[in-house]
Structure 1
């Protein structure tokens, strides 16, 4: 496999090959972390012929360094904080509360924009594959795993095209399995490992979800 990936579609097709053992199973559900995780997850769901839905999570960026995640929140009132980072940067509780409040509003907006009135999928006793376009600190994915555990899935698998090796190792303690195609060093940033890392729009997310949902209803 050659880096960088051409785009998220190519990364998704390559990830699907690594996730092939989960293909065609009736107990498997893929949950994408929007927005960037949707194009990747769509390709995986298509290749494996399994359902696709959303796992809504919002990163809590450090004020002034928004790309640096001090934690994340997920649907269901889940909040994860990287206490070591928060302490080292001396981020106050009031600043954290302000960031959480802002990101909670965006989480609710996305829930309505992407899902509308469509019910949240049943995950109890299912094998759930969480997919994003890459990991940096892993805070957002960790919040997703914590939120998902509360809904009692049978198994949680994390699938990503690229991430730092230490992040992958930390997440192995959280999930039942982590599949990552590449762990380049030095890592620097997810976007470094894609030739096209343009932002995925709300419209693209909705379009991919509708296509996936309609195909399942027709099957």
Structure 2
């Protein structure tokens, strides 16, 4: 594999990830679930190149008050909440504070569910391998929540696939997921954006358009299979 570090952008990272996933397949009946927003362009490229169904799994980081970039936990669709207990204890965060942050993020999670999915029902997860894709792993809080949500939904296997992730986070997630595929695991991550030349924010509109294209392609493929 010809990796360029840092990645030019999320699209190129997704293509590199697809190449790695293809070498570790087959992925029969696997479902790719992207973590919005940044994980969607990466997952779209991977799913498209592997011919897999793409959907989203909504996860929201619970930022530490005063240091919102630091995750003290995360929530995911299905009333899943995971916490970074070390950060909570170190920062002396009260239960009331955690609950207040979680409630605020739940409202945003529900908003995004409506914006991204509309009337479209959630995908069928039970009994299928699920590949969870994001643009990178820092503390891993959001991915931990996503793993638990996928398990609760009945996934047969949960595979985490990312272009870059902090080495200690990747090792911790190996104990929670069935497999973790990470193209680059630096000892000192600094920040996910450090490993991309272009790490501009992914918009809701971009997420909507990529999902529309993926769902349209999946519907066309399914129609073709039925006619065959």
TM-score between both structures, scaled by the size of structure 2: 0.94
CA distance in 1, matches of 2:219, 2:87: 45
Q: 1:112 aligns with which of 114, 124, 135?
A: 114
CA distance in 2, matches of 1:188, 1:167: 13
Q: Contact conserved, 1:34 with 1:55, CA < 8 A, in 2?
A: yes
Q: Contact conserved, 2:54 with 2:214, CA < 8 A, in 1?
A: yes
Q: Deviations over 1:24-69 (max 9, x none)?
A: 7442110000000000000001110010000100000001111100
- Root-mean-square deviation (CA, aligned residues, Å) is 1.1
Unpaired runs of 5+ residues, structure 1, are none
Query: Which secondary structure state, in structure 2, belongs to the residue aligned with residue 58 of structure 1?
Result: strand
Query: Which secondary structure state, in structure 2, belongs to the residue aligned with residue 19 of structure 1?
Result: helix
Q: 2:170 aligns with which of 168, 171, 174?
A: 168
Aligned to 1:15: 17
Aligned to 2:211: 209
Shift of 1:185: 3.0
CA distance in 1, matches of 2:109, 2:140: 18
Q: Contact conserved, 2:161 with 2:180, CA < 8 A, in 1?
A: yes
Unpaired runs of 5+ residues, structure 2, are 222-228
Shift of 1:21: 4.5
CA distance in 2, matches of 1:35, 1:187: 20
Q: 1:88 aligns with which of 70, 79, 90?
A: 90
Q: Contact conserved, 2:168 with 2:187, CA < 8 A, in 1?
A: no
Aligned to 2:225: none
Shift of 1:184: 1.8
Q: How many residue pairs align between the two structures?
A: 219
Shift of 1:22: 6.3
Shift of 1:2: 2.7
Q: Deviations over 1:174-213 (max 9, x none)?
A: 1000000001232110000000000000000000000000
Q: Contact conserved, 2:9 with 2:198, CA < 8 A, in 1?
A: yes
Aligned to 1:186: 188
Within-5 A mapping of 1:35-114: 35-114=37-116
Shift of 1:82: 1.0
CA distance in 1, matches of 2:58, 2:190: 25
Q: Contact conserved, 1:22 with 1:48, CA < 8 A, in 2?
A: no
CA distance in 1, matches of 2:220, 2:52: 13
Moved more, 182-191 or 61-70: 182-191
Q: Deviations over 1:95-147 (max 9, x none)?
A: 11110010000000000000011011111110100000001000000000011
Aligned to 2:197: 195
Shift of 1:148: 1.1
1:156–1:209: structure 2 CA closer, same or farther, 3 Å change rule?
same
Q: 2:33 aligns with which of 28, 31, 34?
A: 31
Shift of 1:94: 1.3
